[in-house]
Structure 1
């Protein structure tokens, strides 16, 4: 059981102080929260700092291509039923950002940490987690991320022999392949709408068979494990067969799946499903995602979609036409500079909606919409796009840096 933090070494204390100072300078200069640069400075001064900061915590790591920020927030809310929580709630999910987050958690009992999928094994070595939640793996940031099969293999190697309980999505073959090397796995039937990255068997390369909600490889026998937790409509089914209502203010099936995984994680720390799910109801938005803001006489709902799987889930949140939609895509460093993924998204699902296109790569997106046969207009700014829409509700969908740009414009 985690306890009070042991005194940090003089070197670690210096590193924390220097990191906080660097973060403060960054904030004063208007360059964001400063968590990343603060963590980098601290780790440069003490490379072992992350392990020291996490030593007194019961740590949960959350990793996936989509949904990890929201799931991290839901788990944190659930575990607060048992004690204080420190978390990288704003999504700075590489070692520097994680270090900054933990530096402020000396009185916490739990550390609930979102981890970029490429850094999962390294962070797990440093913080010795009690639990690891794995949600999904799909293509993302094609110019710099490893191919999904390679990421699954890296996870598989890193999880081999781990002492953590691994809570993993039984419906994603890549996640199952990765998690199967761990000695203690809790399987969750969380669903998988995007299947294009798991059509071949990760074990042998054979073609995956997908009858109904099942999946298996007809060549090597690799198959979906039997889950002990499941999402069933608006309820979570626990290992005892009891059904618990999901109480969320966040929209969509994907967030119900996130809540199901979060309930399974909370149960591993002794928080009952009913208590965990009731506490999750307090979450109305996550780092601005799903917020509805008033701007120029319209209600703009802010939705984040960073890759094909994320766009597919986001489209399911949008009501039938004629609700107007603003689409914004950038290709900066944090987004990945390769926009070829746009051609994997089925934009025909937006047919009938008035569409405005903005962002650094608005012309790339315009070409994709033109080929999809969807009507749209290109705008030079978010303000112009909002003004082009009639009064009422607007759905604004953006990838990572475009989402941050949009939040700054509309004042959230």
Structure 2
């Protein structure tokens, strides 16, 4: 627990100081927050630094394909009711970024840590977490991410016998299979809109049956566990059957699901659902996502969607036609360079919206929209796209680096 004797050795303190200096230099040079390069330098000087920084914290890890950053933020807000929190709130979710974040939280009681799916097992080993939230698994970054079942297997093996309380989504078969190796699981019915990565049983490969909201494998009997927490409309149902209203400033069903999982995590640490959910209302935007910014006389709402599941959820929350939509897709290393995932997205959901297309891979996206019989215009840049739209609201949907480019352009 926090307040114990200083866990940092002289070498660890040197590593922290050097990492902060490098991060500050990176920021001064205009190269971003510096958290990743600072963390890398610190870990080079002391490879055990992450474990040392975590040992006086109650650590909570959050991993998923979609919703990690937002859920991490919601959990952090909820747990501040019980003590000071340190968190990698800006989404630097690999060991270097996590180390950098924890190095700044010497007074904290809780460490709320977003973790990239591929690094979860290793970070769990280093941080000895009290709780791990597993939200979903779906296809992402096809050129370098493992196939989804392999990721689930990595989680299953890495978390086997873990002492942590696992808070897991009962509606995602891959997550259930991964979490089932752990002795202490709290199941949350958080829903699953995107099902295309979960039609075969992760346990035996059989065909998954999906009557209503239920699911089971007809061949081996692997089935949906009974949840103790559930998202029900605009409420979270707790294990006692009480319904607590969700009031969020963040839009969409996916964020209500994130709030339900966050409430279950907060309860592990004694924060009641009512208190947790009230605190979550404070969150207006997460690293620029959902922000509405004024630009060229229009109101641009900035929405991040990185993979098919994320695009599907995002389409469900945009304003109805004829609200214009600007789509921006890049394929830089942080996005994954393979854009074949565009063919997994149902762009017919945009029918009736005027569409403008920008970004490094605007022509890939244009071909996809053409096949989906959508009306669109290819634009040189955001400025040209905005000029083609009438005054008022514009929904802007972008993948990872395209989103960062947009934020820089609109001064967000």
Q: Secondary structure at the match of 1:36?
A: helix
**Using the alignment, how far apart are the partners of 2:2 and 2:373 within structure 1?**
57
- C-alpha offsets along residues 375-394 of structure 1, whole Å, 9 cap, x if unaligned? 10001111111111100000
CA contact (8 A) 2:54 2:127 kept: yes
Tell me if the contact between 1:93 and 1:113 (Cα under 8 Å) persists in the aligned partners: yes
What per-residue deviation string (whole Å, max 9, x for no partner) do you get for residues 261-297 of structure 1?
0000000000000000000000000000000000010
Counterparts of 2:122 and 2:8 in 1: how far apart (Å)? 22
Q: Secondary structure at the match of 1:59?
A: strand
Task: Please report how far the alpha carbon of residue 37 of structure 1 lies from its aligned counterpart in structure 2 after TM superposition.
Answer: 0.3
Tell me which residue corresponds to 1:37.
37
Structure 1: give runs of 5+ residues left out of the alignment.
Answer: none
Q: Partners of 2:367 and 2:2 in 1: how far apart? A: 54
Q: Report the TM-score when normalising by structure 1.
A: 0.99
The alpha-carbon deviation at position 113 of structure 1 amounts to: 0.2
Counterpart CA distance in 2 for 1:256 and 1:175 is 18
Name the residue aligned to 1:57.
57
2:72 corresponding residue in structure 1 = 72
Question: 1:215-269 CA deviation, whole Å, 9 max, x = no partner?
Answer: 0000000000000000000000000000000011100000000000000000000
1:266 to 2:238 alignment = no
The residue matched to 1:365 in structure 2 has which SS? helix
1:201 maps to 201
- CA drift of 1:7 comes to 4.1
Give the Cα–Cα distance (whole angstroms) in 1 for the partners of residues 340 and 71 of structure 2.
28
> 1:8: Cα distance to partner?
1.0
**Once the 2 structures are TM-superposed, how far is the Cα of residue 2 of structure 1 from its aligned partner?**
3.9
Q: 8 Å contact 2:7–2:53 — kept in the other structure?
A: no
Counterpart of 1:192 in structure 2 is 192
1:154 alignment counterpart: 154
User: Which sits farther off after the overlay, 15-24 or 214-223?
Assistant: 15-24
Report if the CA contact (8 A) 2:78-2:277 is conserved.
Answer: yes
Structure 1 residue runs of 4+, over 6 Å off? none
CA distance in 1, matches of 2:14, 2:65: 35
Residue in 1 that maps onto 2:100 = 100
Determine the C-alpha separation between the residues in 1 that align with 2:322 and 2:3: 55
Any residues of structure 2 matched to 1:161-240 within 5 Å, and which?
161-240=161-240
* Cα separation, 1, equivalents of 2:19 and 2:2: 25
5 Å-filtered alignment, 1:379-390, equals 379-390=379-390
1:123 aligns with: 123
Q: What is the rounded CA distance, in whole Å, between the counterparts of 1:269 and 1:17 in structure 2?
A: 32
Superposed displacement of residue 3, structure 1: 3.3
Q: Per the alignment, in what secondary structure is the counterpart of residue 145 of structure 2?
A: coil
Query: Could you say which residue in structure 2 is the equivalent of 1:15?
Result: 15
Q: SS where residue 74 of structure 2 aligns?
A: helix
Aligned ranges for residues 317-332 of structure 1 at < 5 Å?
A: 317-332=317-332
The answer (yes or no) to whether the contact 1:5–1:106 under 8 Å persists in 2 is no
Give the Cα separation in 2 of the matches to 1:387 and 1:29: 33
Task: Give the Cα separation in 2 of the matches to 1:60 and 1:386.
Answer: 41
**Can you list the C-alpha shifts for 1:148-192, whole angstroms capped at 9, x where unaligned?**
000000000011010000000000000000000000000000000
Q: Report deviation, 1:4.
A: 4.1
Deviations 1:120-147 (A, max 9, x none): 0000000000000000000000000000
TM-aligned CA deviation for residue 114 of structure 1:
0.1
Alignment of 1:351-390 (within 5 A): 351-390=351-390
TM-superposed CA distance for 1:318, in Å, is 1.1
CA deviation after TM superposition for structure 1 residue 25, in Å: 1.1
CA–CA separation in structure 2 for the residues paired with 1:3 and 1:215 = 46
Unaligned runs of 5+ in 2: none
Residues 3 and 57, structure 1, Cα contact 8 Å, conserved in 2: no
